[in-house]
Amino acid sequence: MFKKKPYLIVFEGVEGCGKSYQSKKLFNNLRKSGFDALITREPGGTKSAELIRKLILQDYFTKNKSEKFDKYTDTLLYLAARNEHIKYKIYPALKKKKIIVCDRYIDSTYAYQVYGKKVDKKFIDFIHKKIIKGAKPNLTIILKVSHSSSRQRLKKRKTKNRYDKFPKSFYTKAQNSFLKIAKNKKNYFIFDSSKNNTFLEKKILSIVLKKIKYD
């Protein structure tokens, strides 16, 4: 028997690692198991945050590569979307003791903006202190993937955003950053998502159910 309590589960990883697929599978499996679950994503999750998402991800600068968002403007857009998401979706769901499954969250900002684009970590930490507060993840699942598997999956996407078009070196750096963030942390689990989605789906559900029960 599971006691109803708020619980925030986050999926992290580079493009093509299977985050969206596995987060949807987990959400559906939790609902089938009788849990009051909610699925969401970042950037996005609310109407206002989804509008910001479009600004962030659409490649407005295809014709003129010299014109692009400054890395701090880019970061502030992500953080603005996060503030909207936390205030209007995450907090209300936690108050209702829902289990939240989130496709990307805080660690993506550190992996991409801090490690990838060299944004000052203190800059992000300062804003996070103002907006995150009680909305910290209870469990984070990092999905690592081979570059070949990632590229293969991205080729199948009907629509691509600018983050789907970065060079291999950027994704390698980002993935290593996720693994570094997760190192020696008890609420982080790392899985290789290159093969066997069905096995991984069952493994993730098993771990999540144990964590919800005993945390």
> Could you tell me the mean pLDDT of each successive run of 10 residues in the chain, 215 residues long?
87 93 97 96 97 84 65 96 98 97 98 94 97 95 88 72 73 93 95 87 96 90
Does residue 40 form part of some domain? yes
Does residue 97 form part of some domain? yes
**pTM of the full predicted structure?**
0.92
Contact by Cβ (8 Å): 181, 2: no
Classify the C-alpha dihedral 148-115-46-67 as positive or negative.
negative
Contact by Cβ (8 Å): 97, 36: yes
Specify the pLDDT at position 4.
86
Does residue 139 form part of some domain? yes
Does residue 2 form part of some domain? no
Does residue 66 form part of some domain? yes
Total of domains in the chain: 1
**Token output for 151:** 């590229």
Provide the 10 A C-beta neighbour count for residue 17. 26
CA neighbor of 78 nearest in space, from 107, 38, 99: 107
The CA-atom distances, in angstroms, between 56 and each of 10, 41, 73, 153 are: 21, 14, 10, 22
The residue whose two tokens read 């996720």 is 178
Specify the pLDDT at position 166.
72
**Token output for 13:** 């990883």
Specify the pLDDT at position 65.
58
Specify the pLDDT at position 158.
67
Does residue 37 form part of some domain? yes
Specify the pLDDT at position 153.
74
The DSSP code for 34 is T
Specify the pLDDT at position 152.
78
**Token output for 93:** 């769901």
Does residue 92 form part of some domain? yes
Domain that holds residue 73: 7-214
| Sheet of 99-103, strand order | 37-41, 99-103, 7-12, 139-144, 188-192
Specify the pLDDT at position 139.
98
Does residue 173 form part of some domain? yes
CATH number at residue 207: 3.40.50.300
Start-to-end CA distance of the chain, whole Å, equals 14
**Token output for 130:** 């103002």
